[in-house]
Amino acid sequence: MLQRVMMLTLPLLLTGCLSLDPHYQRPAAPVPANLPQGEAGGNQALSYPDVVWRDYVQDARLRQVVALGLNSSRDLREAIANIASARALYGEQRSALFPTINATADGSRGRALTGSGNATALSQSYEAAAGVSAFELDLFGKNASLSRAAFETYLANSEAAKSTRLTLIADIVTDWVAVAAERSNLAVAQQTMASAKRSLDVTRNNQQHGIASLVDVASAETVYQQARSDAASYATSAAQAKNALDLAVGQRVPENLLPSGIEALGGIMRDLPAGVSSHVLLTRPDVLQAEHNLKSANANIGSARAAFFPSISLTASGGVGSGELSSLFSHGAGVWSFAPSISLPIFSGGYNTAQLNYTQAQKDLYVATYEKAVQTAFQETADALARKATLQEQLAAQTGYVAAAQQYYRLAELRYRQGVDSYLTLLDAQRTLYTAQQSLIAAQQTAYDNQATLYKVLGGGVTAERQGDGVIADKATLSR
């Protein structure tokens, strides 16, 4: 008899293949197929290489700092914890697709009066059974839709963690470069302050001997005090840049892993090509996150649609019973029960309709969110590529500006000592050199920041990191 029950229920358990989810189609990307070209956009076509961060970061010290950050960052730990939570919720939701089977064993023994009322008789019974309790047959795919929605939410959290990881790498690089830039600014300010102090002392001595005027002394004083003020300011900025780096990494970065200045960095990052097809942007983690959220909303519509159809629950059990414990499994009689139930949605006060309308509105929301993510990715990449196209020319011009300012200062100092030019010309040359050096440091920092930004906005290394380090689970590791 138990076999008959199982034969009857097994086809029902295997049903539930019907899905009421709307057919999913990825929204068309609301951006051009290629990024704009022109004077700033360049005219190179890109086949973007998938460069993992270890290959992207060329400086050994910076590579160690990034590794520290990936191991210690609280932001990344939080993102990975969100993945674990979403995966657990998916497992919980997916379990509703399968019946819960429980085994029970009962026994009773007692003595009671017989029918004549003047004697007693011993009675005993034993039973062992296995059964399914209140299992909902997923005939219209409600639980399957909810499972798909939970799975897509899990994948969205996984992509969010990849985005956090990518942003963290770029932030660590820019913060590390900021430490180098501020230390260079501090060194230039201190050098200018020392030079200005020597000039001020010479000018004061000349004024006492009637060679220089009080105007010359006052002018020399302004250059010295300005450099002195800048040195104090850059000392603060250098300390704050170090604090920002420590926060991004999640721990204190050792001094031996920090740069002394930006002028000695060289090629700390691998250069990337200058153009990109917008198709590459669709693999960015934030764009994929938006798409998985859209797919989750699409599956929720299927669940809401299924609520309009009947739900069937099954409670069934089968086993053996006997009056003797010793013969329970050898000569016991078969016992079984089968209790299906059906629930028909007749009136819910508009709840089911409202729930369906809500899920459809949520899908519209996530369509807009996805399209905005694609547009944002396009703009960020176009801006970074436009900046990259002019940076080399700017750096070359700025380097030439510093060289010319140094020559101007040397000649002005020589002519002043020979009595050809006034001290005001020397002060102007000194200010020009100071400004040129500061501008070159800023341009160098911008160039390094642009490299880090390009790596981030192009989704650098995401595919390779999925397959390589195992920190963040890939969708292929989780079966539906």
For the chain, list the domains and their CATH numbers.
32-96+140-309+351-477 (1.20.1600.10)
The model's confidence at residue 322, banded by pLDDT at 50, 70 and 90, is low
Residue 184 has pLDDT above 60, yes or no: yes
Q: What percent of the chain has pLDDT over 70?
A: 75
| C-alpha to C-alpha distance for 306 and 96, rounded to whole angstroms | 15
The tens digit of pLDDT for each residue in 434-449 reads 999 999 999 999 999 9
What's the alpha-carbon Rg for the chain, to the nearest Å?
37
Place of tokens 């198709």: 279
Residue 427 has pLDDT above 60, yes or no: yes
Q: Which residue from 456, 47, 50 is spatially nearest to 277, judged by alpha carbons?
A: 47
The encoded tokens of residue 89 equal 């919720």
The tens digit of pLDDT for each residue in 273-316 reads 545 566 778 888 999 999 999 999 999 898 888 888 887 777 76
> Which residues are CB-neighbours of 71 under 8 A, at least 6 positions away?
250
Q: Residue 91: left (phi > 0), alpha (psi -120 to 50), or beta?
A: alpha
- 21 compared with 278, residue with greater pLDDT: 21
- The pLDDT of residue 258: 96
- 334 compared with 291, residue with greater pLDDT: 291
Residue 80 has pLDDT above 60, yes or no: yes
Residue 112 has pLDDT above 80, yes or no: no
- 42 compared with 392, residue with greater pLDDT: 392
| C-alpha to C-alpha distance for 413 and 407, rounded to whole angstroms | 10
The tens digit of pLDDT for each residue in 88-109 reads 988 888 887 777 777 777 767 6
Is the Cβ–Cβ distance between 353 and 3 less than 8 Å? no
Residue 162 has pLDDT above 70, yes or no: yes
Is the Cβ–Cβ distance between 195 and 202 less than 8 Å? no
The encoded tokens of residue 237 equal 């900025």
Q: What is the pTM of this model?
A: 0.80
- The pLDDT of residue 197: 92
- 147 compared with 109, residue with greater pLDDT: 147
The tens digit of pLDDT for each residue in 240-249 reads 999 999 999 9
Highest-confidence range of 4-18, 134-148, 170-184, by mean pLDDT?
A: 170-184
Q: What percent of the chain has pLDDT over 90?
A: 37
Residue 329 has pLDDT above 60, yes or no: no
Is the Cβ–Cβ distance between 375 and 451 less than 8 Å? no
The model's confidence at residue 113, banded by pLDDT at 50, 70 and 90, is low
Q: Which residue from 41, 116, 78 is spatially nearest to 385, judged by alpha carbons?
A: 41
Residue 138 has pLDDT above 50, yes or no: yes
- The pLDDT of residue 480: 37
| C-alpha to C-alpha distance for 398 and 400, rounded to whole angstroms | 5
| C-alpha to C-alpha distance for 349 and 345, rounded to whole angstroms | 11
Q: Which of 195-209, 219-233, 413-427, 452-466 has the lowest mean pLDDT?
A: 452-466
Is the Cβ–Cβ distance between 178 and 245 less than 8 Å? yes
The model's confidence at residue 51, banded by pLDDT at 50, 70 and 90, is low
- 73 compared with 101, residue with greater pLDDT: 73
- The pLDDT of residue 461: 62
Q: Which residue from 108, 32, 43, 57 is spatially nearest to 455, judged by alpha carbons?
A: 57
